[in-house]
Amino acid sequence: MSKKERKARKSKTYKIAVIGGDGTGPEVTREAVKVVKAAAAKFGFKLDLTDYDFGGDRYLRTGEVLPDFAVEQLRKHDAILLGAIGHPDVKPGILEKGILLRLRFELDQYINLRPVKLYPGVDCPLKNKGPKDVDFVVVRENTEGLYTGSGGFLKKGSEDEVAIQTSINTRRGVNRCLRFAFDLTRRRNKKKTLTLVGKTNVLTFAFDLWERAFHEIGEKEYPDIKRDYAHVDATCMWMVKNPEWFDVLVTDNMFGDIITDLGAMIQGGMGVAAGANLNPQGVSMFEPIGGSAPKYTGKNVINPLAAICAAGMMLDALGETEAAEAIEKAVMTVTGTKLKSLAAGQMGYSTSEVGDLVASQVG
Ligand code: IPM
Ligand code: MN
């Protein structure tokens, strides 16, 4: 960036809501903030950070999962940086549904963007695969499918109990997700191939809609993008056997959830896997995709790279492309030349030291 450009941008201030959340969430978020601050100083933008204490501890203290003011407050920010949600003393589902999913839904973050990229020096569990083989992006629909909470019980607790959970797929929701994925494939400009991941052989309603929309939109609006299709089970197989075949994958909420955990493993584990909950027209939220890892809480051993990468994605979404690239480059230098492992407690450095390493590379 030239001096003039930097000056012109000087006044830019981003209002960021920081939700450390549960377990190791606050520790990794602290390092992500450290790196974002280093990037701000280097690339000439300002940060207006506000901490929110939403999470398990607050819930146990107040009985309130997400206070009423939360969504309206968060809406007034440019972005949200989230650590982790999930507390060992709270029944599974309450916080996940009441905080994470509620924010995704209410802020209409209809894309969950999850890059699967193996960085230099990172151990890959796949035999004979390296950074050039593992580099694709999953576009997961983030507001529909099995996640809407649509369904119910009949005769609950009896021998005749019925449980129904409905997958909701709207043409509008599918269209906007597909268009985002096509645009991204075009922008990435790699293999120019978008793969729809589904289960057309069994989910003959839901994926019939997805497949029709995929080809209609692709044919009319993205003739330059190659369209491919893979069943979700086969996708799991290819992700292990031939991950280099993939460029951009697009899929529904549930399948996207599942295949991105597999994706995280082939890119070196939860320590490095980041995700973005995007509302391209609104407020987006950025998070490491691993959980709150309660057993490591407060020990300064958890890997903060996923949170740092999520913060990089945030800067990219805010238009600070150079800063985002610098963060990714710094992370790659740190994985390539410093860390012994990406696993908690085995990095050869503490959580805060890894943050320092990345921040000093950025700044
Ligand atoms: C994820 C998580 C969440 C999801 C849970 C915690 C509700 O697994 O972000 O992938 O299923 O979306
Ligand atoms: Mn998940």
Identify whether the C-beta of residue 246 lies closer than 8 Å to the C-beta of residue 41: no
Identify whether the C-beta of residue 9 lies closer than 8 Å to the C-beta of residue 40: no
Annotated catalytic, 133? no
Q: Which pLDDT belongs to residue 11? A: 65
Active-site annotation holder among 14, 52, 119, 147: 147
Annotated catalytic, 233? yes
Ligand 2 center to residue 10 CA distance, Å? 38
Q: Which atom belonging to ligand 1 lies closest to the Cα atom of 287?
A: 9
pTM given for the model: 0.96
| C-beta of 146 in contact with ligand 1 (< 6 A) | no
Q: How does strand 248-251 pair with strand 135-141?
A: parallel
Annotated catalytic, 199? yes
Ligand 1 center to residue 257 CA distance, Å? 6
Q: Whose CA is nearest to atom 5 of ligand 1?
A: 96
| C-beta of 252 in contact with ligand 1 (< 6 A) | no
Annotated catalytic, 52? no
Q: Which pLDDT belongs to residue 68? A: 86
Q: Whose CA is nearest to atom 9 of ligand 1?
A: 289
Ligand 1 center to residue 44 CA distance, Å? 34
Annotated catalytic, 147? yes
Ligand 2 center to residue 40 CA distance, Å? 30
Q: Which atom belonging to ligand 1 lies closest to the Cα atom of 112?
A: 9
- Compute the Cα dihedral for 289, 290, 294, 300 and give only its sign: negative
Ligand 1 center to residue 46 CA distance, Å? 31
Q: Determine phi and psi for 285, rounding to 5 degrees.
A: -130, 135
| C-beta of 100 in contact with ligand 1 (< 6 A) | yes
CA gap 297, 168 in Å, rounded? 37
- Residue 192 tokens read as 């120019």
CA gap 195, 250 in Å, rounded? 6
Identify whether the C-beta of residue 80 lies closer than 8 Å to the C-beta of residue 17: yes
Q: Which pLDDT belongs to residue 166? A: 98
- β-sheet bridge partners, residue 14: 47
Active-site annotation holder among 123, 156, 233, 340: 233
| C-beta of 274 in contact with ligand 1 (< 6 A) | no
Residues of the chain below pLDDT 70: 1-11
Q: Determine phi and psi for 227, rounding to 5 degrees.
A: -105, 135
Q: Which pLDDT belongs to residue 7? A: 54
| C-beta of 31 in contact with ligand 1 (< 6 A) | no
- Residue 200 tokens read as 């057309």
